[in-house]
Amino acid sequence: MSEQPVDRHPLRTLGVALFAGGIIFMAALFATLSALSWGGIKLDSSVVNFYPLMAFAGAVFGFERWIAYESGGINPFHD
């Protein structure tokens, strides 16, 4: 098994992972809510309150992916 090169900018990689995770989760929420809306279900304005929650969940997911990347592919949360 070959060694991965050392990440010279781990904080930048962390920022990208947190941002990307948040965007992915918020995009999934947007797609779900859009499908429900186009499907004829009437949504109220409280669904907007879920976007910060999904951004946080995505950031947690991004952190998990980052720590696995920095650990050389070993995920300490699941292994």
pLDDT tens-place string over residues 12-61: 999 999 999 999 999 999 999 999 999 999 988 898 899 999 999 999 99
With the CA atoms of 26, 29, 31 and 36 taken in that order, what torsion angle do they form, in degrees rounded to the nearest 10? Answer: -160
**Are residues 47 and 33 in contact, defined by beta-carbon separation less than 8 angstroms?**
yes
SS3 labels along 6-28: CCCCHHHHHHHHHHHHHHHHHHH
CB atoms within 10 A of CB 52: 11
Residue 3 has pLDDT above 70, yes or no: no
Q: Looking at residue 34, what is its pLDDT?
A: 94
Q: Is 46 helix (H, G, I), strand (E, B) or coil?
A: helix
